[in-house]
């Protein structure tokens, strides 16, 4: 008993120190069932939920502020221009502004790149190479020169591959459908016994160009073409029909541009010209320029406008009708080796063997013969061969 007595005294002392607390605990009522009581939410829990929402809102605002500040800081950094040597000329030619990038090194280095480009309303789609012919429908006002410029080929290329033109650019008519090759050249139907070398030689081309052209779909490991297959000859050409050679004219006499040394003196001679001038009021071209298949220039000349003699000479032809597509045509021999031709006239003022002076009105412009709209077809020949009139008069 003596062993437990001190312990009992210690417990009594502790109880005496906290009398109120121990009493409150002893008098605390027993819990009562709250089945029939209305449900309530403790006020402390409401405070806890509101605090959580406010904390999250503040956190989100802080994150947004930090990100916004970072982006604003990066946008104020001076850009560093990156120059790409291989693409500088191409970018400049295309009208695009240089590309600048921040963070590529030096001042303003960072992890967010900044690229400055010129604002464009439309997207530029790179032009892809074309290997097949394209169909083009001729519209009113077209010319061989305009169509050739549109497709970046030569006008003679269009003549090579469209038989309905009959090697004459004046054969164009509205509604006509033309095959336009992907590049300069012509199509050829492969025959039995043909080789790449013989075909290339025939059309003044290179055998390697025929084999390597993707549109021909030739197996490079075993290059061969079956007879009857149509093959494109890149850079190929052929002789075009010279319609000017079919035009029958009289000769002025010996040593002139129309007949040569042995020509008969049909018109009995006449004055000799000393120079050539422009034959119309308008100094612009209406369509076809000089080239193979078109041995003159088409000068803008509305229906009924004056056509003038380019130089002094003798009229060796003044004839109406078709005249191999020239229509109503006048030819003047200037006696110095030069001959000028004026075609598609609506009216002719002169007669054969008549003497004319430079600048004399010889007729009115029109749309006769193989013509596509009123204009003046003008040719210059030297020693019987056509030359580019633009090299002589402008």
pLDDT, one tens digit per residue, over 78-97 is 766 555 454 444 444 444 44
Checking if the pLDDT of 194 tops 80, the result is yes
Q: Are residues 375 and 254 in the same domain?
A: yes
The domain that holds 357 is classified in CATH as 2.70.70.10
Residue 81 lies in a domain: no
276 and 375 in a single domain? The answer is yes
Residue at a domain's end among 234, 254, 280: 234
Among 92, 167, 95, 165, CA closest to 124: 95
Q: Per the domain annotation, does 290 fall within a domain?
A: yes
- Report d(CA 290, CA 150) in Å as an integer: 17
Residue 148 lies in a domain: yes
Is the pLDDT score of 109 beyond 50? no
Looking at the structure, do residues 291 and 341 belong to the same domain, yes or no?
Answer: yes
Q: State the Cα–Cα distance between residues 145 and 290, nearest whole angstrom.
A: 9
Which of 113-122, 255-264, 303-312, 339-348 is predicted with the least confidence, judged by mean pLDDT? Answer: 255-264
Q: Give the span between the Cα atoms of 26 and 342, in whole angstroms.
A: 135
The two counts, helices (H) then strands (E), for the chain are 8, 15
Determine the structural domain holding residue 186 and report its residue range. Answer: 134-234
Q: What angle do CA 293, 294, 297 make, to 5 degrees?
A: 170
User: Which of these three, 213, 234, 255, is where a domain ends?
Assistant: 234
* Domain co-membership, 189 together with 152: yes
pLDDT at 182 over 60: yes
Kindly state whether residue 345 falls inside one of the protein's structural domains: yes
Token pair, residue 167, equals 């090697």
What CATH number does the domain containing 180 carry? 3.10.350.10
C-alpha distances out from residue 303 to 31, 257, 345, 351, 369, Å: 119, 30, 9, 21, 14
Residues 229 and 247 in one domain: no
Burial class (CB in 10 A: 0-12, 13-18, 19+), 297: buried
What three-state secondary structure class fits 348?
Answer: strand
Pair (226, 157) in one structural domain: yes
Q: Which helix (H) or strand (E) holds 63?
A: helix 43-75
Residue reference for tokens 């405070």? 47
Close Cβ partners of 360 (under 8 Å, ≥ 6 residues apart): 308, 309
- Rounded to an integer, what distance in angstroms lies between the CA atom of residue 203 and that of residue 210? 11
CA 254/CA 337 separation, integer angstroms: 10
35 pLDDT above the threshold of 90: no
Number of domains in the chain: 2
pLDDT at 332 over 90: yes
The predicted model scores a pTM of: 0.53
| Residue tagged 């083009």 (tokens) | 136
Say if residue 226 is in the same domain as residue 247.
Answer: no
Whether residues 197 and 300 fall in one domain? no
Q: Is residue 385 part of a domain?
A: yes
Q: CA-CA distance, 379 to 383, in Å (whole number)? A: 13
């Amino acid at each position: 008993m003596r062993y437990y007595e001190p312990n009992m005294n210690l417990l009594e002392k502790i109880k005496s120190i906290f009398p109120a607390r121990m009493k409150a605990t002893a008098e605390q009522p027993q819990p009562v069932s709250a089945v029939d009581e209305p449900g309530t939410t403790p006020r402390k829990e409401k405070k806890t939920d509101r605090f959580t929402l406010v904390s999250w809102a503040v956190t989100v605002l802080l994150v947004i502020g930090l990100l916004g500040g970072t982006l604003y800081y990066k946008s104020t950094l001076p850009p560093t221009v990156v120059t790409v040597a291989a693409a500088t000329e191409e970018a400049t030619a295309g009208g695009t502004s240089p590309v600048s990038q921040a963070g590529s090194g030096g001042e303003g280095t960072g992890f967010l790149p900044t690229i400055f480009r010129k604002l464009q309303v439309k997207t530029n789609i790179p032009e892809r190479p074309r290997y097949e012919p394209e169909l083009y429908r001729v519209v009113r006002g077209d010319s061989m020169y305009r169509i050739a410029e549109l497709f970046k080929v030569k006008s003679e290329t269009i003549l090579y591959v469209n038989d309905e033109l009959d090697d004459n650019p004046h054969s164009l008519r509205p509604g006509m459908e033309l095959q336009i090759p992907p590049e300069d050249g012509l199509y050829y139907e492969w025959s039995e016994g043909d080789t790449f070398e013989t075909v290339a030689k025939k059309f003044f081309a290179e055998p390697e160009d025929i084999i390597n052209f993707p549109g021909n779909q030739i197996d490079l490991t075993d290059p061969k073409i079956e007879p009857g297959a149509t093959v494109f000859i890149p850079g190929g050409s052929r002789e075009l029909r010279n319609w000017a050679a079919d035009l029958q004219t009289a000769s002025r006499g010996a040593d002139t541009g129309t007949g040569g040394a042995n020509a008969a003196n049909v018109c009995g001679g006449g004055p000799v010209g000393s120079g050539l001038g422009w034959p119309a009021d308008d100094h612009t071209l209406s369509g076809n320029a000089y080239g193979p298949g078109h041995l003159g220039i088409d000068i803008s000349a509305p229906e009924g406008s004056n056509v003038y003699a380019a130089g002094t000479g003798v009229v060796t032809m003044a004839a109406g009708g078709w005249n191999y597509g020239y229509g109503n045509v006048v030819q003047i021999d200037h006696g110095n080796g030069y001959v000028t031709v004026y075609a598609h006239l609506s009216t002719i003022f002169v007669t054969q063997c008549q003497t004319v002076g430079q600048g004399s009105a010889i007729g009115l412009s029109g749309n006769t013969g193989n013509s596509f709209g009123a204009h003046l077809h003008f040719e210059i020949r030297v020693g019987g061969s056509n030359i580019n009139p633009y090299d002589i008069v402008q």
